[in-house]
């Protein structure tokens, strides 16, 4: 069921499959929206009450201010869970959604049953990545978002999947075009302000899972392997044929992993 909620004063589009099942919260990445998880939700909702939302500044949710920090968005997400009557949930964050999930764990650890980071790392961005974000912010400020819509989808999927995932790439481009410039810039400034979040996981007893793609151009496999090695108790799923959107490229493997207890 789709509904609008007001969380921490922010108007949000929320989708909730409902029921008395254990809850799973799916958090999307930058320049995306909650509907990117529609197919995944359809396969998960038999065993989970699946909740998705358009994060502030994404989809048709509200933009509030010039900077949407990960901490602030996590507080908004906590408000969504509270309004849905959910005390604890498996929290799955893709890319930027993973950074929001980490801040939710920091602020409200009692709400997180299990943390799944999909193509997201707790470490700070490299200097090169920060510079890339700065260039992207300049592109957005100049009103040239169509450049991102043209380039981003191709670099989000493994080369071998691009023909097969043509519809998904087109949908991704459309999401980028429909994202308000102010919302995209607010999220991007929040990403630029993000530091190393590794401390969130230190000492946490919450079960941790990573999902990585072997052909990810945004989270390099080499860096992912190095970070995962720091968390020997974490479960790790390597998607051998995926880029940055493994939950679309190898969806059945991701579903099987998420449904495993």
pTM for this entry: 0.97
- How does the average pLDDT of the chain come out, rounded? 96
**How far apart, in Å, are the Cα atoms of 183 and each of 65, 69, 127, 138, 186?**
9, 12, 24, 14, 5
- Give residue 214's pLDDT: 98
CATH architecture of the domain covering 2-259: 3-Layer(aba) Sandwich (3.40)
Give the confidence band of 203 by pLDDT, cuts at 50, 70, 90.
confident
> Residue 261: is its pLDDT beyond 80?
no
- List the chain domain ranges: 2-259
- Give residue 54's pLDDT: 98
> Residue 38: is its pLDDT beyond 70?
yes
- 214-224 confidence digits (pLDDT tens): 999 999 999 99
CA distance 56 to 175: 14
- Give residue 85's pLDDT: 96
Burial class (CB in 10 A: 0-12, 13-18, 19+), 178: middle
Q: Look up residue 216 and give its DSSP letter.
A: -
């Amino acid at each position: 069921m789709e509904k609008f909620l007001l969380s921490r004063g922010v108007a949000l589009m929320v989708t909730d499959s409902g029921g008395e099942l254990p809850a799973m919260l799916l958090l999307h990445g930058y320049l995306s929206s909650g509907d990117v998880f529609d197919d995944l939700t359809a396969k998960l909702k038999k065993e989970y009450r699946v909740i998705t939302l358009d994060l502030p500044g994404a989809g048709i949710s509200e933009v509030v201010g010039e900077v949407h920090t990960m901490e602030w968005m996590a507080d908004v997400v906590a408000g969504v869970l509270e309004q849905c009557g959910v005390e604890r949930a498996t929290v799955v964050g893709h890319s930027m959604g993973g950074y929001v999930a980490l801040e939710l764990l920091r602020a409200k650890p009692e709400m997180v049953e299990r943390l799944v980071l999909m193509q997201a790392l707790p470490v700070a961005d490299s200097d090169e990545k920060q510079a890339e974000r700065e260039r992207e912010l300049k592109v957005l400020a100049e009103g040239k978002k169509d450049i991102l819509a043209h380039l981003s989808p191709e670099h989000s999927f493994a080369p071998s999947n691009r023909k097969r995932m043509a519809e998904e790439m087109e949908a991704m481009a459309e999401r980028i075009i429909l994202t308000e410039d102010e919302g995209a810039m607010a999220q991007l400034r929040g990403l630029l302000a993000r530091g190393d979040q590794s401390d969130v996981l230190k000492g946490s007893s919450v079960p941790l899972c990573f999902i990585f793609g072997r052909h990810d151009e945004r989270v390099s496999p080499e860096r992912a392997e190095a970070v995962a090695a720091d968390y020997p108790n974490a479960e790790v799923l390597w998607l051998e044929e995926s880029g940055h959107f493994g939950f679309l490229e190898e969806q059945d493997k991701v579903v099987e992993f998420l449904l495993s207890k």
